[in-house]
């Protein structure tokens, strides 16, 4: 299901909240939780819930002077990687 299927207003609010969340991460990159995985290519990956959308997660990597947003997913989606339980 896509967010816009229910309401264009909800979709616009999601976009606004996702942008706010990502801007906050750019200012405070360590505020996201480490993503525990045994996949070496994902070392350093962090996650943060989208503000007001607790089922949506921003996956990102902290870089020297920025963050790299890798993906934004709905929490229930299969990510296709091995996740390690902490």
46-83 pLDDT, tens digit each? 999 999 999 999 999 999 999 999 999 987 655 555 44
As a whole number of Å, the end-to-end CA separation of the chain is 29
At residue 85, the 3 state secondary structure works out as coil
Residues facing residue 45 across a β-bridge:
61
Helices and strands of the chain, counted as H and E runs: 2, 4
pLDDT of residue 61: 95
pTM of full prediction above 0.95: no
Average pLDDT in the chain:
85
């Amino acid at each position: 299901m896509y967010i816009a299927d229910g309401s264009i207003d909800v979709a616009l609010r999601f976009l606004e909240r996702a942008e706010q969340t990502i801007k906050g991460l750019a200012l405070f990159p360590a505020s996201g939780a480490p993503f525990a995985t045994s996949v070496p290519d994902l070392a350093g990956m962090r996650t943060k819930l989208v503000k007001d959308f607790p089922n949506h997660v921003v996956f990102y990597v902290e870089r020297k002077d920025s963050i790299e947003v890798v993906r934004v997913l709905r929490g229930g989606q299969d990510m296709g990687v091995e996740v390690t339980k902490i």
